[in-house]
Amino acid sequence: MEFWKAIILGIVEGITEFLPVSSTGHLTITEKLLGLQVDDVGVTAYTAIIQVGAILAAVIYFWRDIVRIVVAFVKGVLSAEGRRHEDWRLSLAVVVGSMPIVAAGLLGKDLIHGPLRSLWVVAVSLIGWSVVMVFAEYAATQRRGERDVTLKDGLIIGLAQCIALIPGVSRSGATISAGLLRDIDRVTATRLSFFLGIPALSAAGVFEALSATDEVGASVGWGPAVVGTLVSFVVAYASIAWLLKYVARHSIVVFVWYRVLLGVVLIVALSAGWLSAT
């Protein structure tokens, strides 16, 4: 892969990873426009690897929260007094909520890297999940905050995160919507989306780097992979700061119009033969 392509993909990853617009869907579209084979093992692995840059940005941005959650979890495991603290419930929700996508990712690896790597899937998912996002936004009471997060919330939001393995759904779109449907306020739901994404996406990136080392080296190259990861880190940090400020005052419905428009454009391009699905 040329380095300029790696930079473009890093920018796309950094912008879209945490916005509810589907980073995998955008990367698949961009890879196709750049002339890459989207269902190539090395290319799909590269897509997961550069997510590590975005996740590192989230780790740094939320470092104090991460330390607080980890400490609360350890104290809760070691003592009854620790389990009475509100941060124990939050830490347990994050731990339990991170588990479903690990299992789903391992069990559905062939499906994720094969049939689902299609622009038809991306187009339909962009439009289809937009309906859920609109319903979640308008049905939510947002009466619950971070102190009210429970183990059940973590499990339900974690299960919703699994749906985002389908390109076009969006991990943040799925988790934020699930949080809203649990009547969690929008900012807390967004923060939970970040907390659940850190272990899930880190594991996915490391797994792909280890399991597809030869493929990445052969079809993409480790130089471009490192560049793409660094670029995604810088862009993602800015994206995180912007998103948290945005959701504090606005609904996520604005992203729905973009998703639907992109989905329609994709369907037209695929139907007209301007783009091939894989």
Q: Model confidence over 45-77: pLDDT tens digits?
A: 788 788 889 989 999 999 999 999 999 999 998
Distance CA 215, CA 102 (A): 22
Residue (of 4, 50, 59) closest to 27 by Cα position? 50
Q: What pTM, to 2 d.p., does this model score?
A: 0.86
Q: Is residue 123 part of a domain?
A: yes
**How far from 148 is each of 31, 60, 93, 153, 248, CA to CA, in Å?**
41, 25, 11, 9, 18
Cβ atoms 192, 184 nearer than 8 A = yes
Question: Which pLDDT band, with edges at 50, 70 and 90, does 250 fall under?
Answer: confident
203 residue type, one letter: A
Domain extent for 118: 3-271
Mean pLDDT of the chain: 87
Higher-confidence residue: 132 or 274? Answer: 132
pLDDT number for residue 220: 77
Helices and strands counted in the chain (H then E): 15, 0
Q: Is residue 277 part of a domain?
A: no
Of 28-42, 72-86, 151-165, the poorest mean pLDDT is in 28-42
Q: Beta partners for 144?
A: 184
Q: Tally the domains of the chain.
A: 1
Tokens of 13: 């990853």
Distance CA 117, CA 277 (A): 8
